[in-house]
Amino acid sequence: MGSINKIDLVCDYIITKLDEASDRPSLLKIQKLLYYVQAWHLALHDKPMFNGKFQAWVHGPVNRHIYDRFKGTKLLYSHISVKDVLYPDCNDQLTDVEREHIDEVLENYGEFSGAQLERLTHTEAPWLSARGRLPSSARCEVELDEKCMKETYRSMLK
C-alpha cells in the first residue's frame, strides 16, 4: 500500500471525531477543518502538521490530495461519514500532541458549517493573498503561502 500520507490520517481522525459528536460534515467542512489544523499548527509549532499545500479555490482553501481522494464518490456538499475513512486506526497512528492539536481546532471551528467556514476563510489574508485580484468566481489553483498562514494565525494569538 505504500507509506501513509499523514493528511489522510488527520482527515480520518476529523471524520471520526465529528461522527462521534453526531455531526454529518460535508466535504467542504472537512477541507476547511484540515486547513485550520494546518494553519494553526504552523502558527503554534512553526512547522506544518502534514505535507500538503492548500490551493485558493472559489470555495476557500482546498487540499488537492483530499479533493482527489473523494472526487469519484463525493461532491463538495456531500456528507462524509466513518464509512469514508481509510484508516479506522487513525487515532492510534497520531501522537497525543497531534490529537490534542486537532481536538483544539475542532473545539474552535467544529460547530460551524462548511459554508460558514468558507466565508471565514474568504476574510483571511492567506486565501485573499493567494487569489490576488481574481474575481470571486474565477478558478484558481495558486497555493496559499504557509508563511502567510503562520503569520496570520500567530497574530490572532496576541
Measuring CA to CA, which residue among 158, 145, 140, 154 is closest to residue 60?
140
Question: Is the per-residue pLDDT at 147 higher than 50?
Answer: yes
Buried-state track 42-72, b at ≥16 Cβ within 10 A, e below 16: bbeeeebbbebbbbbbbbbbbbebbeebbee
Closest by CA to 42, choosing from 54, 25, 58, 60, is 54
- What's the pLDDT score for residue 2? 58
How much is the average pLDDT of 31-59?
Answer: 97
Contact in structure between 149 and 126 (CB atoms under 8 Å): yes
3 state SS of 78: coil
pLDDT digits (tens, 9 = 90+) for 49-59: 999 999 999 99
**Local confidence band at 1 (pLDDT 50, 70, 90 cut-offs):** very low
Confidence band for 158, pLDDT divided at 50, 70 and 90: confident
Distance between CA atoms of 48 and 69, rounded to whole angstroms? 20
Q: Which amino acid is at 38?
A: Q
pTM for the structure as a whole: 0.96
What whole-number percentage of the chain has pLDDT above 90? 92
Mean pLDDT (whole number) for 75-104: 95
Ranges of each domain in the chain: 6-157
Average pLDDT rounded to a whole number, residues 19-39: 96
Query: Mind listing the pLDDT tens digit for each residue in 78-91?
Result: 999 999 999 999 99
AA identity, residue 58: V
> Mean pLDDT in the chain?
95
